[in-house]
Structure 1
Amino acid sequence: MEKKVGIIDIGSNTIRLVIYVQSQERSFKEIENIKMGVRLRTYLNGEKILSNEGIALLINTLHSFQLLLHHYKVTDATCIATATIRQANNRESILQEVESKTGFTLKLLNEYEEAFYGYTAVVQSTDIEEGITVDMGGGSTEITYFRNRKLLKYCSLPFGALSLKLDFIKGSVPTDEELEQMLQYVGMHLEDIPWLLNKNVPLIGMGGSVRNFAQLHQHSIDYPLAGIHQYEMDVSSIEGIRTQLRTLTLPEIQKLEGLSKERADTILPSLEVFNLLLNASKATKCVVSKQGLREGVLYSRNSKETISSMSLVEKSIEDIKKDFYIDTGNSRQMIKIANVVINHINKTENLKEDISNADRQLLEQAACIFHLGKYLNDESSSHHTFYLLSNRSILGLSHYERVKLALIASYKGKRTFRQYIEPFKDWYTQGEQKKMRLLGAILKVAQSLNVTKRNVVDDIKISSKNGDWIMDIRCNDDYKPEEYRIEKQKKHLEKLLKISLTPNFY
């Protein structure tokens, strides 16, 4: 049974309501995301008192969100607050006033909790074994270091993109002198984090600032995929964006494709901080996590429930199968048939092909969602399959791996493969491309031998004679549709392996 849950995240820059549908399997899917750019930090004065105007704006925003929660029939809502309210000297009176006027009990996160939830979101939505997470908000920046997916170190720095803008930059864009003062301030804080230095691991960024970096970079290179989760940038890319933006006026920055207009005046401070962190840690690359604090809260709640033994990719594929009503029995039969073909390829000495365990695992994943696009349009199933999979976030897969899976799961033939891979052809070597076509061709054979989805094939034995394959196929029922289908589809495998395949049914 599914239920709706809501998370209200009261940040220094934005207040956001996200509504998720959560299933019995503890997975959740975002169905609504509404943000209000209230910039609560601007109402925190020099004495660290949140003004009455700021409190009133907070309460009015929460009232609006209450109406939305009621509209969506959400009864399970959590309201969390971070740096600005945590740093406010009148925080207790804020919490009391919010509860009395809205009924929301604010969960005020301490520094460890905010850092921990960000780390949790990263390890629950990527397969990265070791890295540094950076969650730069409007009023604070949380950093963690994990190895073997275990949290080892954390810290919370008392500044964020908006607070740096308010404290150091008087105009719309920073002067060189203002940037120098800001960098000295940030550098002073980094000196107190010795465990951050020279780690040579990926830096995983969360939050609106790093999402904007990624979107700016994607637009600058005409990136062919949708989505930013697990998007990777090298360190020089961040430096390039930083160099470009430092030459622009605020109106010019506001017009940049991929940049949220409301972040135009804080993008440079956040870029400077990220650049310092990348250099200090000697990061190997910057990886973007779309999931962050809010998802970390949900993952932490779910961890108290039943914990699944499935990998991130397996869970994502299970979600896809449910979304497209894919027959699990057919997937298992395809995998069974495909493995027979793979075993014969691997033991045939004159074939210069070697299908590794990693290749086999990739093929099995593709088999589970092979030509899922037919559920939208049977005539264009291959096209829809490639588009859906290449542009859908699949937890645990990088964009490179996601496109690879999409190319195999959508395989129709050499011509369409070349059409689909054209925007990505520089991502893969010729050897990798041939391997993907081979795995796709094997799946075409496997699909042919269960075209009626009745699991009529009980056993397959393959023998080779003078470079030709004899495939003896024992069936438990009428096999004419399968026999007809494989005669049409076997050519893909024959061309790639340079063999002749003769199927014998009985």
Structure 2
Amino acid sequence: MKEKWAVIDIGSNTIRLVIYIKSQSGSYKEAENIKTVARLNQFLTSKNELRQEGINLLIDILQGFKEILFFHQVTTVYCTATATIRQSKNQAEIQSLVKERTGFDMKILSEKEEAYFGYYAVTHSTPIDTGITIDMGGGSTEITYFESRKLMQYHSFPFGVVSLKKQFVKNNPITVEERNRLAEFIQASFAQLPWLKNLQVPVIAIGGSARNIAQIDQNFKKYPIAGIHQYIMSYSDLQKIQLYLGQLTVEQLEKVEGLSKDRADIIVPALEVFVGLCEYSQSYSFLFSKKGLRDGISMKTSEMDDVLLTTDQIINNSVLELLIDYGVDPAHASHRARLAETLFDEVCSHYACENKGVLRTFVIRGAELYYLGQYIDDDSSSQHTFYLLANQSINGLLHKDRLKLAYIASFKNKTLLKQYFAPFSDWFTKKEMEDIRLAGAVAKLAAALDASKRGIVKKIHLKETANDSLQLMVYCQRNPFVEQYETEKHIRQLEKVLRKAIQINFISCE
């Protein structure tokens, strides 16, 4: 049986249960994600005590989660609570009742712990080396600043989307006066943090409100690929959504595509905070991270160390997961990647590409994942490969880079590549498209050079001949009849890119 564990996140707005499974690659994977809206914050009295009604609601939800955990045979559970329970003066009583009625040991996270786990998830799943994180819940807002992936500063504000709405928004829709008072409060709050001012680094937002804003923006733009993890918006994008949503009633907001009905009444205060943060920090890149508090807890628990991963390491881990998930032998993929790297370096003597080092990395990973879609259907491997890679989150790769990887790993010919490019014509320059075509042709040829999956090709050399053509010298062990047939069949894709004929010569090195 696969190793399983769960995280219960008792927030001020929602309570969520997430079940994780340890994959064959050793990393965790989310198996179940169950949410219920509780709005515990509204049950806090003026003396900051959680009323019995709120406690009963919490216990009812946790008992329901307990049934689900029993069904899925999960015995290791990390039950955590954040702002509302943390602010409750009767928290000891709540903990005791939870333990008595459900058996869960509810850990109340400190402000620092809550901020830390969000930062940890972001720095282990995105390519951002230096940035600001904001995790806005129902009753608190955690902000961190990290530099070279190291946590430098953190702060927890005792307000969230639910409490801000309760304090500042009485009318439907919000009035100009209410918005001005809210904006003044937000700027005054940020002014308490001089280290945050004018940082001019990306803002990475965590949580349901940020997720909904990213979804709304994608709907506005008719975004052509799936996934919101590592989705980037500009400051002007945020302002446009702020202007649009700010004039709508709650009833109208409930009909906005991408906005969850249960967040319709609290999305405007969230936008005010996000826009205010970008203004105060002079940050004009707003990125959404699907990985947050719960993932940070899970990652920290499963990894058992404090090693700071580089972006390359994050992507490599994601690639390994994909290989295992889709039944590709990592050793075979690694050999194919080495062939592609060597071939790319040889080809670059005869082709001028932009950012050679960056493109080489894409060639290597594209070769590792080449025709991943065979797992689904061998006859349409290219189409399935492109769709799978273009439409699923890959930690460490922003959406444009994920698309570039999908083009290379799915490359079949120029005609099909143009079809894949069509919805993204404004994403890439003509030169970028040419370089991607070259990279795809190299990855395709590398796959042909290991067609029998025996790893018999040991060395490759591409040299010019007297008649301005090229000769590909392939040094191999054992009989390369399969590799020779496949290479001769697919060499024309590289010939077309280089605009030169290529002669192939297989040489035994036994």
> Please, what TM-score do these two structures have when normalized by structure 1?
0.96
What is the CA distance between 1:474 and its match in structure 2? Answer: 3.2
Amino acid aligned to 1:322: I
Deviations 1:351-371 (A, max 9, x none): 444672221111111111100
What is the CA distance between 1:25 and its match in structure 2? Answer: 5.4
Tell me if structure 1 keeps the 8 A contact 2:28–2:302: no
The 3 A distance-change label for structure 1 pair 340 and 35 is closer
Amino acid aligned to 1:63: Q
Residue number in structure 2 paired with 1:257: 257
Which structure 1 segments of 5+ residues have no match? none
Deviations 1:211-246 (A, max 9, x none): 010000000000011111100000000000000012
Residue number in structure 2 paired with 1:476: 477
Residue number in structure 2 paired with 1:495: 496
What is the CA distance between 1:308 and its match in structure 2? Answer: 9.5
Deviations 1:41-91 (A, max 9, x none): 111122211111110000000000000000000010010000011111211
Could you say what secondary structure the match of 1:166 adopts?
helix
What is the CA distance between 1:197 and its match in structure 2? Answer: 0.6
Tell me if structure 2 keeps the 8 A contact 1:345–1:354: no
Residue number in structure 2 paired with 1:285: 285
Bigger mean CA deviation after superposition, 440-449 or 263-272:
440-449
Amino acid aligned to 2:431: G
Tell me if structure 1 keeps the 8 A contact 2:173–2:247: no
What is the CA distance between 1:99 and its match in structure 2? Answer: 1.1
Could you say what secondary structure the match of 1:347 adopts?
coil
Alpha carbon RMSD of aligned pairs, Å? 1.7
Q: 1:24-39 residue pairs with structure 2 within 5 A?
A: 26-39=26-39
Residue number in structure 2 paired with 1:216: 216
Deviations 1:319-338 (A, max 9, x none): 00100111223323323332
Deviations 1:112-158 (A, max 9, x none): 11111111111011121111100000000000111111111111111
Residue number in structure 2 paired with 1:313: 315
Residue number in structure 1 paired with 2:126: 126
Distance between the aligned counterparts of 2:304 and 2:126, measured in 1? 20
Deviations 1:470-491 (A, max 9, x none): 2232332222222222222111
Distance between the aligned counterparts of 1:220 and 1:120, measured in 2? 31
Residue number in structure 2 paired with 1:230: 230
Distance between the aligned counterparts of 1:320 and 1:59, measured in 2? 39
Residue number in structure 1 paired with 2:334: 332
Tell me if structure 1 keeps the 8 A contact 2:20–2:29: yes
Q: Is residue 167 of structure 2 the alignment partner of residue 163 of structure 1? A: no
Distance between the aligned counterparts of 1:22 and 1:338, measured in 2? 31
Q: 1:130-209 residue pairs with structure 2 within 5 A?
A: 130-209=130-209
Distance between the aligned counterparts of 2:356 and 2:85, measured in 1? 53
Tell me if structure 2 keeps the 8 A contact 1:11–1:138: yes
Deviations 1:266-315 (A, max 9, x none): 00011011111110000030010001111111222234259697700000
Residue number in structure 1 paired with 2:104: 104
Tell me if structure 1 keeps the 8 A contact 2:344–2:363: no
Distance between the aligned counterparts of 1:50 and 1:290, measured in 2? 30
What is the CA distance between 1:183 and its match in structure 2? Answer: 2.2
Residue number in structure 1 paired with 2:506: 505
Bigger mean CA deviation after superposition, 373-382 or 329-338:
329-338
Deviations 1:243-266 (A, max 9, x none): 001221211111010000000000
Tell me if structure 2 keeps the 8 A contact 1:83–1:140: yes
Could you say what secondary structure the match of 2:348 adopts?
helix
The 3 A distance-change label for structure 1 pair 78 and 317 is same
Distance between the aligned counterparts of 2:213 and 2:439, measured in 1? 36
Tell me if structure 2 keeps the 8 A contact 1:121–1:291: yes
What is the CA distance between 1:97 and its match in structure 2? Answer: 1.3
Tell me if structure 1 keeps the 8 A contact 2:456–2:478: yes
Q: 1:60-139 residue pairs with structure 2 within 5 A?
A: 60-139=60-139
For residue 344 of structure 1, the aligned residue among 330, 343, 346 is: 346
The 3 A distance-change label for structure 1 pair 306 and 25 is farther
Distance between the aligned counterparts of 1:408 and 1:381, measured in 2? 13
Residue number in structure 2 paired with 1:458: 458
Amino acid aligned to 1:342: F
Q: 1:403-414 residue pairs with structure 2 within 5 A?
A: 403-414=403-414
Tell me if structure 2 keeps the 8 A contact 1:4–1:74: yes
Could you say what secondary structure the match of 1:144 adopts?
strand
Distance between the aligned counterparts of 1:307 and 1:199, measured in 2? 25
Tell me if structure 1 keeps the 8 A contact 2:343–2:461: no
What is the CA distance between 1:393 and its match in structure 2? Answer: 0.7
Which structure 2 segments of 5+ residues have no match? none
What is the CA distance between 1:186 and its match in structure 2? Answer: 2.2
Could you say what secondary structure the match of 1:211 adopts?
helix
Distance between the aligned counterparts of 1:490 and 1:136, measured in 2? 53
What is the CA distance between 1:435 and its match in structure 2? Answer: 0.5
Q: Is residue 276 of structure 2 the alignment partner of residue 276 of structure 1? A: yes
Bigger mean CA deviation after superposition, 64-73 or 480-489:
480-489
The 3 A distance-change label for structure 1 pair 306 and 322 is farther
Identical-pair percentage: 42
The 3 A distance-change label for structure 1 pair 272 and 355 is closer
Amino acid aligned to 1:331: A
Distance between the aligned counterparts of 1:339 and 1:217, measured in 2? 38
Tell me if structure 2 keeps the 8 A contact 1:346–1:355: no
Q: Is residue 390 of structure 2 the alignment partner of residue 385 of structure 1? A: no
Residue number in structure 1 paired with 2:7: 7
Residue number in structure 2 paired with 1:394: 394
Amino acid aligned to 1:500: A
The 3 A distance-change label for structure 1 pair 389 and 149 is same
Distance between the aligned counterparts of 2:24 and 2:499, measured in 1? 48
Distance between the aligned counterparts of 1:133 and 1:307, measured in 2? 19
Residue number in structure 2 paired with 1:372: 372
What is the CA distance between 1:424 and its match in structure 2? Answer: 1.4
What is the CA distance between 1:191 and its match in structure 2? Answer: 1.7
